[in-house]
Chains A and B, each alone.
Chain A
Amino acid sequence: MVDATADAPRAPHHRPGRLKEFWRYFRENRGAVIGLYVFAFFVVLALGADIFAPHDPTQQFRDHTLLPPFWTAEGSWSFPLGTDPLGRDILSRLLHGARYSFFVGLVVVVLAASTGILIGLVAGFAPKWLDTVIMRLMDIILSFPSLLLALVLVAILGPTLLNAMIAIAVVLQPHYVRLTRAAVMSERTRDYVTSAKVAGAGLGRLMFITVLPNCLAPIIVQMALSFSNAILDVAALGFLGMGAQPPTPEWGTMLAEAREFILRAWWVVTFPGLAILITVLSINLMGDGLRDALDPKLKRS
């Protein structure tokens, strides 16, 4: 890794910008580019759910319960992906559900990453005893299976979408602490840090401006990973009745509501799960691309 602040003035125009260089490597991974397009497509759908959705996601068409998708004999174009047991349009619910999933992923990642990075930086720079205390605390959180801990936290806080997000952020945050601390540990002894220290940089500057930018690569990859994990976990919590509550069109909750109809109406189960799978898959594809593009060990140049 190069120190951006030290290198920039020396060769300002001859080297491609970092973003451009990153894009060059990212583009080489075809899967990652496909993932990016699918992801972008879903984000647009989620943002424009009000425009694209043919119906209100909670409106119940009592004459049209459990209608199959349009390509089957009984299907109709006014409910393209069929209706659920209460006669709600599945496509509209999926589109609005996408909003919840992306929102949840975003909030959880921001929450987990910001606290995790901060704690990790502190652990990396702190005296040994404090470092030990912090790392033991993280070990404790990591000894619980993540979904179980999230479930119990939600049981304590009460089953709402917000609490599910907090619980998942708590469970994901130790990974950031570990990554940041490990990166700080290896960077801290480098010459550029010593020189910054000698030049009189305070602890805050040292932490956030000198060291942190050089630790970001693994953290960014982890962010992609926990984005998809957050979406999966919140859907799992919703499925167990401990996340978003009906009639919220959240994908996991939709699956839970559809469970008793699985042998009668395959479409009420298939589509929400497919939506989760495609979203998570596209994010993981991007994550793999990010890792290849950012990991200096794998760069071929």
Chain B
Amino acid sequence: MYALIIDDSRAMRRILSKIVMPLGLEVVEAENGQDGLDRLEEMEPPEVILVDWNMPVMNGLDFVKTVRADGRYANQKIMMVTTETEPAQMVRALMAGVDEFAMKPFTADVLVEKMKLIGVRLPNPVSSNE
């Protein structure tokens, strides 16, 4: 089981990996939407995709639309993790088919809770509450 992390910033990919890996998921990284699509073609579907919005080559919104248009990924869990924080942008992402939306900056709790919210299976689900 793995998480596909798509973000053009290596620093951000590292931060996301540091949160996801202790939960028992492996991590595959991609640096833009197109790169993410290439990774998906090569591998089994991931447990969850964490995708940024603003990226060169192909942005996260176009990535989500492309993935959702492909019947193989109808039930793929996708969470957008982005600096876009306007309600209008959130609506746009939800309409494109993301399951959840986390705003940067975030804390580890935020991501863990939101992954649980959309039913991501976590081999080591630490309680984020206590």
Q: Check if A and B associate.
A: no
